A = this chain, B = another copy of it.
C-alpha cells in the first residue's frame, strides 16, 4: 500500500425512512425503507468543519478511494483522494455515497421491495437528482455535519453539487462542479434515450423483470458502448487506437477488425457484470430531468455564501465548456463568488477521472483558501465584523 493511499476501506450502510416513515420524492411518490451505501476517508475534526462530500457519476459508487479487501483496483477517484492528494485525508473528512436508484449498496430497482419480497424492478419510483441529494443530506445529518466544507463531483456528480448548492445553500461553503451542466441539451438527452432504448428493446429486459433470469446483456452492452464513445474524445481515441487492426489486415467479415471495436465490445461486456440495467435506466432519466437553468440554481433575490470553482475540459464534447460557462454566468448574475477554469486535456469527458494534475492544483488551492478562512462563509463573518458589505 502506498503512503498516499487511504488503505483498506469498507462500504458502510445507513438505513433510514423506516416504516411508517418514507422519503417523499419529487414525483410525489414515496420510498422507504432506504439504505445508502457510503464510505468515509480521514477524520472529522472537533469543529466538524472539514467534511467534504464527493458525488459520483452515472455508473460510479461509494467506493471513491482506497482498496476493498482482496481487490487490486482502488476506488474510482483514488488519484484525487488520499494523504497529500487534492482531497487530503490528513486534513479533511471525505464522504462518498452511492446514489439512490443505484445498484452499489443504495436502494434501487434491484433492491427488494418490502411490499412484495421481490426486486422492485419498474415498481421502483422515478427519482431525480434532487431526490438523490435529499437522501444524501440524511447521511450528512447522521454523520453529525451541519455544514460541509465542500461538495464536489464530475458529470452527474457535478449535477448533485449544483443541486446541493440550490437545495441547501447554507450547508455548503464551497462547491466544485466539474464537467457538468445546469441541464441536459437535447443532444445529451438523445444519447441517453438511445441508451435506454437499446436496453428496453432487448427481449431479455422483460419489461424490467429480468432479475430471475439475468441481465439484458446485449442491450446493456450496446448502451455502454454508446456511453464510452461519448466519454472519450476524437483525439484520445486517435492516440489510443488510431486505425490499428487486431489481426494485421481486414477480415472482410463482421468480426472485430479494428482495435477500437474490440475495446468497445470489451467495455460493453464488462459493464454487464457490474451494473444493473434498470439502474442505468433510472439514473439516465434522472439526469435528463435535471434542470437548474432559468434562475433555479440560485433564485432571484436569494443570496448565498457558497463559493464556486467551476471546471470544464477542452476536449469534452459530451459536457462542452459552454455548459460550464452557463453555470458561471448564472452565478455571476447573482453576484456569487465563482472561479471558472477550462483545462486543457485530450481525454474528453473522462478527463475529470484521469487527468488530475492540474485539477489537483486548482482544487487544493481553492479548498485551502476556503478552509483557512479567506473565502465563503468565513469571509462572510469578516464582512460582518468590519461592517463592510461587498458584492
Contact = CB atoms under 8 A, between A and B. Distances in A.
A37 B300 CA distance: 63
A238 B323 CA distance: 13
Nearest to A28: B252
Contact of A254 (B194, B202, B203, B285): B285
Interface stretch (A60-68, A110-118, A258-266): A258-266
A194 to B, nearest CB: 5
Interface residues of A, number: 57
A288 interface: yes
B317 A238 contact: no
A331 interface: no
Interface stretch (A132-140, A168-176, A179-187): A179-187
B185 A238 contact: yes
Given A258-B186, A260-B186, A265 B197 contact: yes
Contacts of A122: 254
Contacts of A222: 194, 197-198, 201, 222
A264 B198 contact: no
A257 interface: yes
Contact of A189 (B200, B203, B243): B243
A34 interface: no
Nearest to A232: B187
A250 B126 CA distance: 10
Contacts of A183: 243
A51 interface: no
Contacts of A254: 122, 196, 200, 281, 285
Interface of A: 27, 29, 122, 125-126, 183-187, 189-191, 193-194, 196-198, 200-203, 218-219, 221-222, 225-226, 228-229, 232, 234, 237-238, 240-243, 250, 252-254, 257-261, 264-265, 268, 281, 285, 288-289, 291, 317, 320
